[in-house]
Structure formats: C-alpha cells, structure tokens
Amino acid sequence: MAKNSTKTKDMSAKKPNKKVTTKVIATLVVFGIIAAVFFGTGSTTFYNFKNSLVKPSQIVTSDVVTVGVFEPMSGTNSRYGQEEAAGVELAHDLRPTVLGKDVELLYADNRSNMYDAETAAAELLQKKPVLVIGSYGDLLTIVGGDQIKAVSIPAITPTATNPLITANNPYYFTATFSLARQGEALAEYAVNGMEKTAFATVKGSRDDSATALIDRFDAEAKKLAGDGAIVADLTINATNNNFSQTIDQLKNLDVDTVVLAVPSVTAQEFMKQCLSADYNPLFLGDRDWDNDEMCVFLEKNTDIMASFPSVAPAPATETYDVFVEAYYEKYGQDAPEPSGNMAAAFDAYMLGIRAMEDAYSNLLNYNEKTIGRNASSEAEAAALVEEYRKAMETGIPTGSQIRDALRKISDFEGASGILSYDGDNEVNKTVTIIHYFKGKRLDPYIVD
C-alpha cells in the first residue's frame, strides 16, 4: 500500500492486490511487497501537477476524510476490481489530503458475488465514509445502490453503465459513458468517421441494456444520415448458437454495417458464422467488447472489421500524461501500460476530491440565516441549517452537499477524457472508439 500520513484500513479478508493488465495479465504488486511509495525527483510535469493539487488547509482539525473502495477484490471479477482499486490508490498517492485532512481508504471486498456484495456494502457504510468508489460490474453496483441511497452517501462507479444504477437514486454517479451515450457515439463515428449511411441493428431478446444503446443509435443515425438510415432492427435468441436465419436476413438487406448489441462471447460466435456465410460487414459493438479475449479474436480473424467503445485512457488530455507518468513512477518503466479501468477509477477519486472542495467552498458563501432561504418548506430549511452546522463543525461537507457539488461539475479534465455532469448523475464524456481492420488495431476515433 502507498505510504500515507494515515494508515489505510482493510475491511476485507485481504488487502487489495494492485494488479494492472492490458492484453496480458501481469502481477505488478504482490501483497506486502510494497509498503511505501516514494516519488523521487521525476519529471517537472508530474511534480508541478502534484504540487498544484496540494492546496493549503482550509480548516485545521485532526480528523480524516474516509473514502470507501467497494470492489470485487476476489472472485471471478477480481482482476478488474483490483485494476480499479489500483487506480484509486494511484490518485490517492497524488491527492492524499483534502480540506486539510488526510484521506483514508476503507476497502470492502464484494467477492464478485451479489450476496456478498450486499453484506460488504452494509459493513462499509457502517464506517460512514463520505464517498464510495465502486463497484466494477453492473449487478454488483446495483446491489449496493439502495443502501447508498438510504444513508445519503454519494458513490461513483468507475466503469459500470447500467441505467438502473442511477435511476431513482440521486446519490449514485457514473464515471463512464452510459449505454445510451455509446449508441450516440457509435452513430457519429459510423456516419461521420466511416461515411456509412445504412444500418441494421441486432440485439438479444429481452435485453433492456441493448435496447437503450440501439434506441439512441437509431435516433442519432437518422439525424445524421436521414430517416432511411435504419434498414432493420432485428432480435436474436442469444442462447441459441445458430444465427443463420438472422444472417440470411442481413445479407438480403444488403447493409454493410451492423450494430451487434450482444455480449462479447455471443458476438464472436455471430461474427464467425457471418464469415462462414461469406458476409463481411462492419460490426459495431458496445463496451462489453473491450476485453482481451475480443481483441485476440479480432487479431486472429483478419477478415472481420469491428469497432467498439473503450474505457482506454484519453491521451489527448494533460491529466492523462500526469496519470501515466505517476503510474510508471510507481510501478516501474517496464510495467505494461495502465488499463482503462484504472484510468476511470483514477478519475472517480479525483472527481470526489473536487466535489468535496467545491462543496466546502459553496458553504463558505452561506450562513445560518441564508442557507435555507430558498427552501420549499420550514422542514427543508431546518434540515439545510442542520447540515450546514455539521459541515462547519467537522470541516467535512455532508453527503448531500458533496452530491450537489458533483452534479455541478463540468468540463473536468480526467485521465480518461473530459467529464461533465451538468446537473445529472450520468456522466457525459468523450468516447474512444477502437477499430480493428485486417487484424490490426488502428488509431482510435474520439467522439466529443
């Protein structure tokens, strides 16, 4: 673990293993090997950025600010949970304090299991963190949602995107583009980037997530290419490995671009059967395709053209440069490049720190006489005054104050792109589109 002025607590049976992968899983940190991280006299960019983030204390107390890390540190999703935890820790190395207080990380291992996730979330929230980061995986994130809402603690999931995470939950935020945003970005890429004008879409039956992506794709494609852009919206049984009937329909429609909104494993089987049927359109997938197995598949099957959104870091931002430099300072120059999951988690932590600072700055503009002036009722005004008093006493904004500040963040430059909430809980951010052609991964296409 990184050396901090306040030692971190481990709420799970194991401390997080800092594992970062790209196409090859590489164990970068073994439990217990790294007890401290020392930054030497590295480059000017990294140190100037780090020093610019460490602001003078706005309030002096001996208290700490606790941030929960709710991730699958063990189980089937442990690889990705550890990547996100590593991203949080890297950001924590750069910003170990906020509002003159040490930031303490509290870990809760949801063990990649929805039942363990419910217990882990409850145990974490009993410690009363001011912010929670996590989890990897839509279902694991949704499981903790009701408990997060009940205790009014804001949470940011780095990479989960299911609309149910934020639906009717004002305290859960996303740090990665939604499925609807993916559909919009894919349409912009296909029409403006690839100059395509006619599309067919394919989704699994009763797949609400795919419906959200396709609905937005259809709307944006029609806006950019005309009402006739969508030739057909088809549905398949994803559990049936014989897709010949649907492939015949696509061939008869004579479209050269197919939005294939199905899981990565199903997509690979579908594309193989298309090859066997001598049908080679451009396939557009969702972010579920952004994994090592799909990349290896596309490298081997050189006749397949495919594009999909990725959580890959955004090299166009200055924060990306700082993120990468800090990463290699910590893990060594021979380490594989940092993953997109790590970059997204890095941004989630930095967004939380920014929201805490903004929330406290907002409070300094009020006092007890004015804080409830615009309240809709006396009860609401009294609650606002009570929260104001609590924040002024502790020097730490309350959950609702941090939530409100998060919603107002706009044009935040992160390692994974430019992020904005603009009054919403789902982030609006730049989307990186990955494209494979003849087995080669080409330069990404960025959709603002």
Among 119-128, 255-264, 361-370, 395-404, whose mean pLDDT is lowest?
Answer: 361-370
Residue 66 confidence (pLDDT) above 50: yes
Would you tell me which CATH number, out of the four given (3.30.9.10, 3.40.50.2300, 3.40.50.720, 3.30.70.20), belongs to the domain 9-176+315-357? 3.40.50.2300
Residue 54 confidence (pLDDT) above 70: no
Looking at domain 179-310+430-447, which CATH architecture does it have?
A: 3-Layer(aba) Sandwich (3.40)
Pair type for strands 131-133 and 64-71: parallel
Contact 307, 189 (CB under 8 A): yes
Q: Mean of the pLDDT values across residues 244-261?
A: 96
CATH 3.40.50.2300 domain extents, the chain: 9-176+315-357, 179-310+430-447
Q: Among 263, 261, 267, which Cα is nearest to 202's?
A: 261
Burial class (CB in 10 A: 0-12, 13-18, 19+), 245: exposed
Interatomic CA distance for residues 102 and 60, integer angstroms: 11
Angle at alpha carbon of residue 351, lines to 22 and 171, rounded to 5°: 105
What's the confidence (pLDDT) of residue 325? Answer: 95
What's the confidence (pLDDT) of residue 311? Answer: 86
Interatomic CA distance for residues 30 and 34, integer angstroms: 8
Q: Mean of the pLDDT values across residues 78-88?
A: 97
Give the burial string for 212-243 (b: 16+ CB within 10 Å, else e): bbbebbbebbbeebeeebbbebbebebeeeeb
More confident residue, 86 or 20: 86
7-31 residue pLDDT tens? 344 433 333 333 333 333 333 333 3
| CA distances to 37, 293, 299, 392 from 285, in Å | 39, 14, 16, 49
170-209 residue pLDDT tens? 999 999 988 889 999 999 999 999 999 999 999 998 888 8
- Residue 370, number of CB atoms within 10 A of its CB: 10
Among 36-45, 243-252, 402-411, whose mean pLDDT is lowest?
Answer: 36-45
Residue 50 confidence (pLDDT) above 60: no
Among 19-23, 134-138, 280-284, whose mean pLDDT is lowest?
Answer: 19-23
Residue 46 confidence (pLDDT) above 70: no
229-245 residue pLDDT tens? 999 999 999 788 899 99
